[in-house]
Amino acid sequence: MTRTTTATATTTYLRALGPLERFFWRYTERNPAHFLLAAEFDIALDAQRVRDALDAAQRRHPMLSAHVEDDRHLGPAF
């Protein structure tokens, strides 16, 4: 889904939020929730190795690179 925002700029949306996603997105606007993920590895990791793994995960799962924008015509969308 693509929406032209100005004469020179175009915003491309992957998809609109579903009803439950929209509920949680609106809920966290007033009730922010932060989280932490911890993991233990049996090998030494360096920054490049982690960056390469994150890049591979984002290529395989594009929604990991998405963020929500609240378009005044379309509503919240990725």
Condensed to tens digits (0 to 9), the pLDDT of residues 48-62 reads 999 999 999 999 998
Task: Answer yes or no: is pLDDT of 13 > 70.
Answer: yes
SS3 content of the chain, % helix, strand, coil (to 5): 40, 15, 45
Instruction: Please say whether the dihedral angle defined by the alpha carbons of residues 55, 29, 68 and 77, taken in this order, is positive or negative.
Output: positive
Look up residue 50 and give its two tokens: 């982690």
Going by the DSSP 8-state scheme, the letter that residue 43 receives in this structure is S
Mean pLDDT over residues 27-48, rounded? 88
Instruction: Share the mean pLDDT of the chain.
Output: 85
How many angstroms separate the CA atoms of 57 and 51, rounded? 10
Mean pLDDT over residues 2-28, rounded? 78
Q: Write down the pLDDT at residue 40.
A: 92
pLDDT-based confidence at residue 4 (cuts at 50, 70, 90): very low
Pairing of strands 2-4, 10-12: antiparallel
